[in-house]
Homo-oligomer: A and B are copies of this chain.
Amino acid sequence: MVIFPEHRYYGESMPFGSREEAYKNAFTLAYLTSEQALADFAVLITELKRNASAQSCPVILFGGSYGGMLATWMRLKYPHLSIGALAASAPILQFENIVSPDTFYNIVSNNFRRESVSCFNTIRESWDVIMSLGMTNTGLSLLSKTFHLCGELKSAEDLSNWLDSAYSYLAMADYPYPADFLMPLPGNPIKEVCRRMDSLPNGTNILQRIFEGISVYYNYTGTVNCFSLDDDPHGMSGWDWQACTEMIMPMASNKNTSMFPAFEYDYKSDEEYCYKSYHVTPRPTWITTEFGGHDIKTALGTFGSNIIFSNGLLDPWSGGSVLENISDTIVALVTERGAHHLDLRAATAEDPDWLVDQRASEVKLIEGWLNRYLESKRVNFLPLQSV
């Protein structure tokens, strides 16, 4: 039996009767936490087992990204309810200073540089051009026109954020075949972005190159006439709340290694944003207090079992995940050419061999957990059978 539970406050799982009521303010949003989500799943698993008279039936958890973090934490917090977890692209170490805050943007940048150094340089040089134009109304108008925006651009920063998102999501969705994860995209979309940027004739304006490239992300189907920057196409406002309370993941861009504008992690500005948005103050050390993270090897190694951390190194979140085996039963499966939880996507005829192999390794590990569990149950049943 396969169950897809929906996380509270997302999709149709709204408390207080409606999305509007649930998202009203910090008092109604207070119940949107990872701990409450885990408790929901605990109740769900327990009730399902009870209703199906399947108390001894082993449960395996699967999750990607935040879902993979939840799967890991579920294994940590509710070890009695499952026998193992596949945590795909789960950045459980992307908190406090456990990994460098540069990690995410370094990986995105390396992905572009690997495809094409000139593409990487075009992007790196574009930010100053955008910033300069953003200083005058004429410049903002020119930017609006170049990037086919539906309305007038209000600040260069809005455009930069829009481009930043595209590059980051392209790295996450850098799959080896056409897919529609965040947006409809071709296979190896970063290669396609760089191909388009690089193939424009010499002397082409740098912003024209950027627009051609970014259109792979925002308009691969070619059906968009103009772009709106302030859309929230992925319905992420639940995540915005979570990022303002528990999920404080420090990010920075290193001037030597990143193609993005350099910036240091600025907790204060997060704090101000969150107070302005929700009248809450983030708790940046809460996740590691609740779920660990520092010295993860000791904690999970001595008090944990049966977790697969799968990661593709093209995925910018991979830097915040577990990339080395922690124990015999807590193992890392790393693929060089995988992106964000590619292994959890449905199998396709276009899957490369290394992806087929990765999934086979996962199945084999899970079969091992199941066999050991069923073996232990058989031993337990013996005394009864021999009566």
Contact = CB atoms under 8 A, between A and B. Distances in A.
Interface of A: 35, 39, 42-43, 46, 55-56, 75-81, 285, 288-296, 298-299, 302-305, 376
A384 to B, nearest CB: 14
B76 A289 contact: no
B80 A42 contact: no
A322 to B, nearest CB: 14
A155 to B, nearest CB: 39
A291 B76 CA distance: 11
Contact of A289 (B42, B75, B302): B42
B79 A294 contact: no
A42 B285 CA distance: 11
A39 B80 contact: no
A288 B298 CA distance: 27
A32 to B, nearest CB: 17
A299 B79 contact: yes
17 contacts: A42-B289, A42-B290, A46-B285, A46-B289, A55-B295, A56-B295, A77-B77, A78-B290, A78-B292, A79-B292, A80-B293, A80-B294, A80-B296, A81-B289, A302-B305, A303-B304, A303-B305
Contacts of A43: 289
Nearest to A45: B289
A185 B81 CA distance: 44
Per CB-CB distance, the 5 closest pairs between chain A and chain B, nearest first, are A80-B292, A79-B303, A80-B299, A46-B289, A42-B289
Contacts of A305: 302-303
Contacts of A288: 46
Contacts of A78: 290, 292
Contacts of A80: 291-296, 298-299, 303
Chain A binding surface SS class: helix
A299 B290 CA distance: 20
Which of A43, A289, A298: most chain B Cβ within 10 A? A289
A304 B79 contact: yes
A55 B293 CA distance: 13
Given A46-B285, A76-B79, 14 more contacts: A42-B289, A43-B289, A75-B303, A78-B292, A79-B292, A79-B299, A79-B302, A79-B303, A80-B291, A80-B296, A80-B298, A80-B303, A298-B376, A303-B305
A289 B77 CA distance: 11
Contacts of A75: 303
A237 to B, nearest CB: 26
Given A303-B303, A303-B305, A290 B79 contact: no
